[in-house]
Structure 1
């Protein structure tokens, strides 16, 4: 189910029309080629919202602004692009100006040789993919850190507020609330302890989820925003044991675009898959179904035919830290953390279970996700 890799998009800049046509013909079939007759036109292409350029190839000598200026601006505004310089001038001054003005992956001399160009572009494509992976990893870190900062802000502020009040009471500056100092401090300490435990539990749950789902950034990157592609990519890179892939069935009723925090969504999906696999460890005929669809709102469902969840626990799973795997080190915060991730962008989890038969967890997305992929 893995999606075929998209061809690398190359932007070739040269003031000579024949040179642009020759370049496009020389690499057609292996690369998607855009062309521009000058620096300003190239920057207009790069400024487009749908710009997907991976590699920039530019001539040096052009009327008006030279290629060196373009490379310098691209390094500043689009540092992820792989940059190649084409020049018929091999003098040291030109090379020094260009290298000092922008990071150059390769320098090609005119007249261009087709084999040399293709080889350089293949290497540039590999470099572009590596850069894209690094960028995606940074985006994943940015998204998850932003969520953690938002989630931990309130309890940490509560702890700080209690600490200030205790200090004022000890110094005799606080208002008398009718409680003896000792009782007041004890009450504040209990609240501080509860909030601190929550912060530590959120961090611990996050770290454990990332350990179980170390493939999440890759999964989100390969998913390209589509829920179906995200599921496919996750199954393609998740560290499944021998035979586990065969027990997972994917059913796509309607696909949709995952717009909000795709890396966090992939983290939740990976955690739910991990929970389902753990629930089926001793099952003689394990089965997992992942369903992608759009009803009143978009959803992804992870369903297993495991032992199910006792009703007394089911109603508390998203509210209290209860765990069915305490003997294995489970803290019970996993589903709470996943639900908080979904709630952070307007969605939520729904857990249903029939004891001794199945467990179904639905990732409900906000209505604004309701767009064909």
Structure 2
């Protein structure tokens, strides 16, 4: 499978060729003619030439088939090096004298998948090459999946660390304020803590706000723990409903006093979501947080954040897809900022701790599920963020990241 992305870094997923190494030129020509009808065949006349070719085009090589007896380094030494430096390559050994010592060295040092004897039997050789090619592709897919999972975990952890900082800082601020207002006043009973209030109910409000934020921080941490726990377990079941996810955010998000009434939702057009709840929960929380911060910065007469489930086309001419929209009537987004959102970290709230990574994270989560994110904002204000989801496949080939 070749990469379709221009300028993409070559990977083991591109491997498709058979590399034959033999010091006999006629053997190389014969092999290329005999098996070139089915396989892409590369050849090298010795170990040094083979190592040079692997260094330059190793991402293309899926199977290494080498003669054992060659001048200088033998085939087992080459297989051992290939095993260490190109682990995706399947390794086969050809020998005219496949005695016990050669076989043991090939298995122990080169971890070969098969030993073929000269002269090569065409039927046996073709089957061995097909099997080795399939094994190489499977290893490459497994390696790419593991790397993608690890990258997702690292990115999610970085994003989570930033997101948790804000509610924890708020909790710390409330606790510090109550500590500073603690009174050692005469007349206070020893078993009663006296804390000064600037207005009635202020201390209770601070405690309730701190509790909401600590619960929210815990929910974010729990989401990441679930991501880490599930990262190496296939979970392709499609059982998460969009309405349940939206309702969870509405129930668990730590709204400032009076903010919860700004939110409304229309969940009638419910649908099943791909992927796991944890990452999608972080995405919706991020979009709600961004909308609320925009409204706080420039509040309209009646602040509104609306969460809508519906069908919509991401572009004219495309079929409709299930979509979650987060709509606010805030000041909107400047065109020069809007063009960069979801593609690079950009923020207008750097002084208050904004990093601009929120929408980038959301974009990558949606892309990993085969969906996309769209941000629209007009000159009259207001912002609409749409999450477009692919149709649920009954038998997906690969689990979503």
Question: TM-score interval w.r.t. the shorter chain?
Answer: 0.5 to 0.7
Question: Is 2:323 the counterpart of 1:315?
Answer: no
Aligned mates of 1:119, 1:188 — CA distance in 2 = 66
Aligned to 2:144: 136
Question: Is 2:395 the counterpart of 1:341?
Answer: no
- Using a 3 Å threshold, how does the CA distance of structure 1 residues 192 and 130 change in structure 2: closer, same or farther? same
Residue in structure 1 matching 2:115, options 87, 99, 107: 107
- 1:83 aligned counterpart, secondary structure: strand
Aligned to 2:92: 84
Aligned to 1:304: 320
Aligned to 1:41: 49
Higher mean C-alpha deviation, range 140-149 or range 187-196: 187-196
Equivalences for residues 208-223 of structure 1 within 5 A:
211=236
Residue in structure 1 matching 2:215, options 170, 176, 193: 193
Residue in structure 2 matching 1:66, options 59, 74, 93: 74
For residue 107 of structure 1, report the CA deviation from its aligned partner.
Answer: 0.4
Residue in structure 1 matching 2:106, options 92, 98, 106: 98
Select the structure with the greater relative contact order (CA < 8 A; seq sep ≥ 6): 1
Aligned residues of 1:351 and 1:362 also touching (Cα < 8 A):
no
- Using a 3 Å threshold, how does the CA distance of structure 1 residues 159 and 7 change in structure 2: closer, same or farther? closer
Aligned to 2:180: 178
Give the TM-score of the pair, scaled to structure 1. 0.53
Aligned mates of 2:149, 2:19 — CA distance in 1 = 30
For residue 136 of structure 1, report the CA deviation from its aligned partner.
Answer: 2.5
Q: Deviations over 1:117-155 (max 9, x none)?
A: 212111112222222221232122122212211112234
Residue in structure 2 matching 1:24, options 14, 18, 32: 32
Q: Deviations over 1:222-256 (max 9, x none)?
A: xxxxxxxxxxxxxxxxxxxxxxxxxxxxxxxxxxx
Aligned to 1:371: none
- Using a 3 Å threshold, how does the CA distance of structure 1 residues 103 and 50 change in structure 2: closer, same or farther? closer
For residue 95 of structure 1, report the CA deviation from its aligned partner.
Answer: 1.4
Aligned residues of 2:324 and 2:388 also touching (Cα < 8 A):
no
Aligned residues of 2:68 and 2:94 also touching (Cα < 8 A):
yes
For residue 99 of structure 1, report the CA deviation from its aligned partner.
Answer: 1.2
Please report the RMSD computed on the Cα atoms of aligned residues, expressed in angstroms.
5.0
Aligned to 1:154: 162
Aligned mates of 2:220, 2:318 — CA distance in 1 = 27
Aligned mates of 1:60, 1:68 — CA distance in 2 = 6
Q: Deviations over 1:37-77 (max 9, x none)?
A: 11122122222267311111011111111111111111112
- 2:18 aligned counterpart, secondary structure: strand
- 1:314 aligned counterpart, secondary structure: strand
Aligned mates of 1:361, 1:179 — CA distance in 2 = 46
Aligned mates of 2:160, 2:310 — CA distance in 1 = 30
Aligned mates of 1:49, 1:149 — CA distance in 2 = 35
Q: Deviations over 1:309-357 (max 9, x none)?
A: 88xx5228xxxxxxxxxxxxxxxxxxx9886332799xx932469xxxx
Larger Rg: 2
- Using a 3 Å threshold, how does the CA distance of structure 1 residues 113 and 211 change in structure 2: closer, same or farther? closer
Unaligned runs of 5+ in 2: 4-12, 183-192, 196-202, 240-274, 284-308, 330-356, 367-371, 378-384, 390-401
For residue 360 of structure 1, report the CA deviation from its aligned partner.
Answer: 6.3
- Using a 3 Å threshold, how does the CA distance of structure 1 residues 59 and 146 change in structure 2: closer, same or farther? same
User: Number of residue pairs matched?
Assistant: 253
Aligned residues of 1:302 and 1:361 also touching (Cα < 8 A):
no
- Using a 3 Å threshold, how does the CA distance of structure 1 residues 60 and 350 change in structure 2: closer, same or farther? same
Unaligned runs of 5+ in 1: 215-262, 272-277, 281-287, 293-300, 317-335, 354-358, 364-373
Aligned residues of 2:68 and 2:93 also touching (Cα < 8 A):
yes
Aligned mates of 1:102, 1:119 — CA distance in 2 = 20
Equivalences for residues 205-354 of structure 1 within 5 A:
211=236, 279=310, 304=320, 313-315=326-328, 340-342=361-363, 349-351=373-375
For residue 94 of structure 1, report the CA deviation from its aligned partner.
Answer: 1.5
